[in-house]
Homo-oligomer: A and B are copies of this chain.
Amino acid sequence: MKLKELSKLLNLSATTVSRALNGYPEVNAETRARVLAAARRHGYVPNQMAQRLATGRAMAIGHVVPLAPHQIINPIFAEFMHGAGETYSAAGYDMLLSIVPEDRENEAYATMARHNKVDGVIVHGPGRHDPRVDMLGELGLPFLMHGRDDRPEHGYSWLDINNRQAFFEATGFLLGLGHRRIALLNGIETMNFAWRRRAGYLDALAARDVAMDPALMRSGEMVEPYGHAAVREMMALPDPPTAFLVSAITVALGALRAVRELGLEPGRDVSIVTHDDELSFLSNAGPRPLFTATRSSIRAAGRRSAELLLALINEPGPAHRRELWRAELVIGRSTGPGPEGGGD
């Protein structure tokens, strides 16, 4: 069943049927009702290829996932995609996923742009100074960055959380509890978010004149064994940390495991604060959750990022959309007073 057949059936022109279906105002209400009813009854579904050719819009959003040979699609990313996917389906957009070797990332964006495969892309995991900003600008491909690079004013759209401030507060919270030896188990610090978190951590230490110790600072891919190994090694130091500030709940679980293995009680002998992306399979909810955490839902971020991008594409308005989310500090059972007394 195609538009032409349907219009013949209704004794209407294809124009009118098309307009009725697409909600244009210049169609008599009664006529529209007839058209809609007939379309439903005969199971008419517009051919998307034809629509796309005629309108010039791809009705799809691209995501490029560059993967080094040993790299994995990590669950945090997957959770973001889950959220974005919800928005897309609701808006009738498709999600085009391009999984490519690291060195083909630019090519992937170029292909999407040149072939008009997508109306826009979401850019993941920005670095300190991300070259994709300029590249996508040149390609003329609308994009929204999840996170931002060091030039957030450089004229692009992004959604990010206040990583620096969140880790500043989290560190301050631990200092307030009397901790002085606070370890940082960070994400990979070439990534902007991790770098900002580190900056927040260092700022907080500096604000209280607590010396930073490189032996207590790590950067790595956010997987469970990383947390486990880091804690075991740091606890074996001559002057071990009394608190850990951790970048992801997966890592925190590894840390917790190590703490328990050492016969220590989390929240009493050692404190842990983690960032909590609210991964749906690792709930840290409830009135007194397992972990004290800086919390912000990554799935919600995915949903909202997709919305912002679609708005950017479809709605006239500001050239760039920016949204800074505030991660909330939630007090859980994994923190307690440190050696310096404290208690503010």
The answer to whether B97 and A95 touch across the interface, beta carbons within 8 angstroms, is yes
Asked if residues B97 and A279 are in contact (CB atoms below 8 Å), the reply is no
Q: A115 near B72 (CB under 8 angstroms)?
A: no
Across the interface, do B71 and A86 meet the contact criterion of CB distance under 8 Å? Answer: no
Which of A63-95 touch B at CB < 8 Å?
Answer: 67, 69-73, 75, 78-79, 81-82, 85-86, 89, 94-95
Instruction: Check B116–A49 contact: CB distance below 8 A.
Output: yes
Would you call B89 and A48 a contact (CB within 8 A)? no
**Interface 9-residue window, one of A50-58, A192-200, A333-341:** A50-58
Collect the chain B residues with CB atoms within 8 Å of residue A99's CB: 81-82, 85-86, 89, 95
Bound form: Cα–Cα A158–B195 in Å: 46
| Chain A binding surface SS class | mixed
Chain B residues in 8 Å Cβ range of A28: none
Identify which of A50, A69, A94, A108 gathers the most chain B CB atoms within 10 Å of its CB. Answer: A94
B73 & A73 in contact (Cβ 8 Å cutoff): yes
Residue in contact with A94 in the complex, picked from B48, B78, B117, B283, CB distance below 8 Å:
B117
Say yes or no: B94 contacts A95, CB within 8 Å. no
Q: Is the CB of B48 within 8 A of A50?
A: no
Q: A71-B281, A85-B97, A85-B100 are in contact. Are A45 and B78 (CB under 8 A)?
A: no
In the complex, per-residue mask of A277-314: 1 if CB is within 8 Å of any chain B CB, else 0: 00111010000000000000000000000000000000
**Bound-state Cα–Cα, A334 to B119, Å:** 51
A269 at the interface (CB under 8 A from B): no
Contacts A72-B75, A73-B73 given; indicate if A115 touches B67 (C-beta within 8 A). no
- Asked if A72 and B81 sit within 8 Å, CB to CB, the answer is no
Considering only CB atoms, which chain B residue lies closest to A283 in the complex? B70
Chain B residues with CB under 8 A of A11: none
Whether a CB of chain B sits under 8 angstroms from the CB of A224 is yes
A45 to B101: give the CA distance in the assembly, Å. Answer: 23
Q: How far is the CB of A109 from chain B (nearest CB, A)?
A: 13
**Chain A window 244-285, contacts with chain B (Cβ cutoff 8 Å), 1 for yes, 0 for no:** 000000000100010001000000000000000001110100
A37 at the interface (CB under 8 A from B): no
Question: Whose C-beta in chain B lies nearest to the C-beta of A81?
Answer: B99
Determine how close the nearest CB of chain B comes to the CB of A252; give it in whole angstroms: 13
Best-surrounded residue of A50, A279, A281 (most CB of chain B within 10 A): A281
15 further A-B contacts with Cβ under 8 Å, apart from A45-B115, A72-B281, A95-B98, are A49-B56, A52-B53, A53-B53, A67-B82, A70-B280, A70-B281, A73-B75, A73-B82, A81-B99, A85-B100, A89-B100, A89-B104, A89-B108, A95-B96, A97-B97
A-B contact pairs, 10 of them (CB 8 A): A48-B116, A48-B117, A49-B56, A67-B82, A71-B280, A72-B75, A72-B280, A81-B97, A89-B99, A225-B253
- A residues apposed to B, CB below 8 Å: 45-50, 52-53, 56, 58, 60, 67, 69-73, 75, 78-79, 81-82, 85-86, 89, 94-100, 104, 108, 114-117, 224-225, 253, 257, 261, 279-281, 283
